[in-house]
Amino acid sequence: MMAIFGAILPRFALLVGWYNDQAFWNGVFGSQIWLLLGFLVLPWTTFIYGLVQPNGLTIINIIFLAFALLADLGTWGIGFFAARRQTSSYYRT
């Protein structure tokens, strides 16, 4: 349940934010391509970058971005290790 919530929440927030103020999000990223790639691949990092970028990238904002990147990489890593565990248990039997 937490994995589903963690995967859907940032994408939903990005979608709602973009729908409500398209000019802001397009101004932050410069192109809708970057926003779409961030939406698909690194949603937490894209969401946090959109929130902190207008204020400038101070050290505290960079720390928030680092944690968001770790959250995104963690979701990709959890999927890798879960698949590896299923595969390795398949070979043991």
pLDDT in tens, 2-28: 777 777 888 999 999 999 999 999 899
In this prediction the pTM is 0.75
- Supply the pLDDT for residue 56: 86
- Supply the pLDDT for residue 83: 60
3-state SS, one letter per residue, for 3-66? HHHHHHHHHHHHHHHHHHCHHHHHHHHCCHHHHHHHHHCCHHHHHHHHHHHHHCCCHHHHHHHH
Query: Rounded distance, CA 18 to CA 38, Å?
Result: 13
CA triplet 19, 62, 37: central angle to 5 degrees? 40
The predicted-structure confidence for 23-70, as pLDDT tens digits, reads as follows 999 899 888 899 899 999 999 999 999 999 988 889 999 999 999 999
- Supply the pLDDT for residue 43: 92
Q: Which two tokens stand for residue 12?
A: 């939903």
